[in-house]
């Protein structure tokens, strides 16, 4: 899987609020499918489908401890997504800085224009 595909899978997994809630729960530590199911009104097969999407995106891994198969968060794909978003954040910050400079310049011109207008009266 190339980097673009991985990023696509990460964002697709994050697009669903149930999957985001599962990831939030896993930040507290590993959990069984049953534990992850508790806050939701859905079936075990439905939560398993969400977990498969998260696994394909590399955001969740499952261990094996006898009958217990704990789910764990793997945040590495989130770091890649955050870096991608960070590039755009820098773009918007620079754009906002330019806009702020422009607004300041326009206010200064208006202030200068207003003071010249008062002197003419």
Predicted local confidence at residue 93, as pLDDT: 85
Give the model confidence (pLDDT) of 69-102 as tens digits: 899 999 999 999 999 999 888 888 888 888 888 8
CATH class belonging to 3-74: mainly alpha
As a whole number, mean pLDDT of residues 17-29 equals: 96
pLDDT of the residue at 8: 95
pLDDT for position 117: 65
What percentage of the chain has pLDDT greater than the value 90? 60
- Separation between Cα atoms, residue 50 and residue 44, nearest integer Å: 10
More confident residue, 3 or 6: 6
Q: What are the tens digits of pLDDT across the range 43-78?
A: 999 999 999 999 999 999 988 766 778 999 999 999
Query: Would the pTM of this model clear 0.75, i.e. be above it?
Result: no
- The residue that leads in pLDDT, 115 or 32, is 32
Instruction: Report residue 72: phi and psi, to 5°.
Output: -130, 145
């Amino acid at each position: 899987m190339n980097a673009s595909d991985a990023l696509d899978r990460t964002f697709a997994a994050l697009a669903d609020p149930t999957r985001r809630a599962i990831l939030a729960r896993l930040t507290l530590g590993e959990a069984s499918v049953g534990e992850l199911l508790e806050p939701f009104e859905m079936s075990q097969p439905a939560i398993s489908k969400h977990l498969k999407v998260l696994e394909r995106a590399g955001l969740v891994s499952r261990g094996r401890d006898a009958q217990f198969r704990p789910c764990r968060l793997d945040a590495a794909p989130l770091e890649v997504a955050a870096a991608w978003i960070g590039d755009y954040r820098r773009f918007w910050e620079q754009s906002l800085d330019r806009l702020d400079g422009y607004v300041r310049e326009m206010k200064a011109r208006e202030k200068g224009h207003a003071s010249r207008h008062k002197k003419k009266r």
